[in-house]
Amino acid sequence: MANANVLEKYRKKKKLTVKELTDKMDKTPGWYSKIKCGHFVLPSYHLPKMASILGVKPEVLAKEYFSEHELEESSSCENDQQPA
Protein backbone atom coordinates (compact mmCIF):
# COMPACT_ATOMS: atom_id res chain seq x y z
CA MET A 1 0.00 0.00 0.00
CA ALA A 2 1.22 3.50 -0.81
CA ASN A 3 2.17 5.94 1.92
CA ALA A 4 0.98 9.37 0.76
CA ASN A 5 2.32 10.97 3.94
CA VAL A 6 5.74 10.68 2.31
CA LEU A 7 4.63 13.08 -0.43
CA GLU A 8 3.31 15.50 2.18
CA LYS A 9 6.55 15.30 4.17
CA TYR A 10 8.66 16.28 1.16
CA ARG A 11 6.14 18.87 -0.10
CA LYS A 12 6.15 20.65 3.26
CA LYS A 13 9.94 20.36 3.52
CA LYS A 14 10.22 22.19 0.17
CA LYS A 15 7.62 24.72 1.41
CA LEU A 16 5.43 24.10 -1.62
CA THR A 17 1.69 24.63 -1.53
CA VAL A 18 -0.49 21.96 -3.08
CA LYS A 19 -1.22 24.41 -5.92
CA GLU A 20 2.48 25.02 -6.59
CA LEU A 21 3.22 21.29 -6.60
CA THR A 22 0.31 20.41 -8.86
CA ASP A 23 1.09 23.28 -11.25
CA LYS A 24 4.62 21.88 -11.63
CA MET A 25 3.14 18.40 -12.19
CA ASP A 26 0.63 19.79 -14.74
CA LYS A 27 -2.14 18.35 -12.57
CA THR A 28 -4.98 19.73 -10.46
CA PRO A 29 -5.11 20.06 -6.68
CA GLY A 30 -8.01 17.57 -6.80
CA TRP A 31 -5.70 14.99 -8.41
CA TYR A 32 -3.20 15.39 -5.59
CA SER A 33 -5.92 15.32 -2.95
CA LYS A 34 -7.13 11.94 -4.22
CA ILE A 35 -3.60 10.56 -3.95
CA LYS A 36 -3.01 12.17 -0.55
CA CYS A 37 -6.27 10.73 0.81
CA GLY A 38 -5.52 7.26 -0.52
CA HIS A 39 -8.23 7.15 -3.18
CA PHE A 40 -5.58 6.69 -5.88
CA VAL A 41 -1.95 5.59 -5.88
CA LEU A 42 0.58 7.86 -7.54
CA PRO A 43 1.35 6.12 -10.85
CA SER A 44 4.98 5.03 -11.00
CA TYR A 45 5.53 6.96 -14.24
CA HIS A 46 4.92 10.20 -12.27
CA LEU A 47 7.57 9.37 -9.65
CA PRO A 48 10.60 10.82 -11.50
CA LYS A 49 8.91 14.18 -12.08
CA MET A 50 7.45 14.29 -8.55
CA ALA A 51 10.86 13.40 -7.08
CA SER A 52 12.56 16.14 -9.09
CA ILE A 53 10.05 18.73 -7.90
CA LEU A 54 10.37 17.56 -4.30
CA GLY A 55 14.18 17.52 -4.47
CA VAL A 56 14.65 13.83 -3.75
CA LYS A 57 16.03 10.93 -5.80
CA PRO A 58 13.29 8.94 -7.57
CA GLU A 59 14.45 5.66 -6.02
CA VAL A 60 14.30 7.17 -2.52
CA LEU A 61 10.80 8.55 -3.10
CA ALA A 62 9.63 5.25 -4.56
CA LYS A 63 11.07 3.23 -1.68
CA GLU A 64 9.47 5.47 0.95
CA TYR A 65 6.17 5.92 -0.91
CA PHE A 66 5.64 2.21 -1.49
CA SER A 67 6.96 1.21 1.95
CA GLU A 68 4.63 -0.71 4.23
CA HIS A 69 5.75 1.43 7.16
CA GLU A 70 3.52 4.42 7.82
CA LEU A 71 4.99 7.74 8.85
CA GLU A 72 3.87 8.81 12.30
CA GLU A 73 2.50 12.09 11.01
CA SER A 74 -0.99 11.54 9.71
CA SER A 75 -2.65 13.56 7.03
CA SER A 76 -6.27 14.54 7.44
CA CYS A 77 -8.36 14.50 4.31
CA GLU A 78 -11.52 15.78 5.95
CA ASN A 79 -12.15 19.42 5.09
CA ASP A 80 -8.92 19.34 3.12
CA GLN A 81 -7.35 22.78 3.14
CA GLN A 82 -4.11 23.91 1.58
CA PRO A 83 -1.48 24.83 4.18
CA ALA A 84 -0.24 28.38 4.17
| Residue 28 lies inside a defined structural domain of this protein | yes
Report the CATH number at residue 27: 1.10.260.40
pLDDT at 80 over 70: no
What is the reported pLDDT for 69?
A: 60
| Residue 78 lies inside a defined structural domain of this protein | no
> Taking the complete model, does pTM exceed 0.85, yes or no?
no
Over residues 11-49, the pLDDT tens digits come to 999 999 999 999 999 999 999 999 999 899 999 999 999
Q: What is the 8-class DSSP label of residue 6?
A: H
What is the reported pLDDT for 67?
A: 85
| Residue 84 lies inside a defined structural domain of this protein | no
| Residue 45 lies inside a defined structural domain of this protein | yes
| Residue 80 lies inside a defined structural domain of this protein | no
Number of domains making up the chain: 1
Q: Which long-range contacts (CB under 8 A, 24 or more apart) does 32-36 make?
A: 32/7, 33/77, 33/80, 35/2, 35/4, 35/7, 36/4, 36/7, 36/8, 36/75, 36/77, 36/80
| Residue 70 lies inside a defined structural domain of this protein | no
